[in-house]
Chain A
Amino acid sequence: AQSVTQPDIHITVSEGASLELRCNYSYGATPYLFWYVQSPGQGLQLLLKYFSGDTLVQGIKGFEAEFKRSQSSFNLRKPSVHWSDAAEYFCAVGRGGGYNKLIFGAGTRLAVHP
């Protein structure tokens, strides 16, 4: 069965520091992978997605993620965090070739210290 694990429930970083949020997935075929961000009072917003091709994916707001098939991982990174990045981040896996029946991880809550 498909599943997504986000090992870190909470992460705190200082503004300007680099960030890496971990995501591991279980899926029998080539996965479609997504990162979403959820800020208070706002709906989930897509940061980036991986379907195929280049394993390093660029997204919005300066985020990137790297698909590593050998490690079943799709970690999210940002070189320099801004205070406005404080939010909850969700990794998700979807079935290929069809609609978006996404399986989400439990999320990682990011706090940013000034």
Chain B
Amino acid sequence: GAGVSQTPSNKVTEKGKYVELRCDPISGHTALYWYRQSLGQGPEFLIYFQGTGAADDSGLPNDRFFAVRPEGSVSTLKIQRTERGDSAVYLCASSLLVDGELFFGEGSRLTVL
């Protein structure tokens, strides 16, 4: 059975570069979330999609961060002009119901040099 798939699992980039992180949720799950987990911290909410639309993007730290989900399935988190402080594990989760159990992927570890 397919769980939440995230690619790449690891990404190393240089400061100032553009990065895309992809999330493929469980088939049929309409709710999709992005969280960010910095070293030694718990996950921090970034954005929530219900279907194709971003219902809550209040956790995005600044306008360098953007996420899309054009067909209501796969989502891409986009980070422009990366900074060293963006280094973290980016977690994607999906759920069948709006307030249903979250199923998390293994995350994409981003390192900005």
Contact = CB atoms under 8 A, between A and B. Distances in A.
Interface string A89-109: 010100001111111111100
Contacts of B50: 99
B106 A41 contact: yes
Interface string B79-110: 00000000000010101001111111111000
A104 B42 contact: yes
Overall SS of chain A's interface: loop
A98 B91 CA distance: 20
Q: Which of A46, A99, A101 has the most CB atoms of chain B within a 10 A radius of its CB?
A: A99
Contacts of A114: none
B28 interface: no
Nearest to B59: A101
A11 B43 CA distance: 20
A47 to B, nearest CB: 11
Contacts of A4: 42
A1 to B, nearest CB: 13
A44 interface: yes
Given A43-B91, A100-B102, A90 B43 contact: yes
A103 B56 CA distance: 14
Interface residues of B, number: 29
Nearest to A46: B101
Contacts, number: 61
B99 A100 contact: yes
Contacts of B104: 36, 43-45
Contacts of A97: 99
Contacts of B99: 97-100
A92 B37 CA distance: 14
B61 interface: no
9 contacts: A43-B104, A90-B43, A99-B48, A100-B31, A100-B33, A100-B95, A101-B45, A102-B45, A104-B42
Interface of A: 4, 36, 41-46, 49, 90, 92, 97-107
Shortest beta-carbon contacts, A-B, top 9 = A104-B42, A43-B104, A44-B104, A43-B106, A104-B43, A90-B42, A101-B45, A99-B98, A106-B42
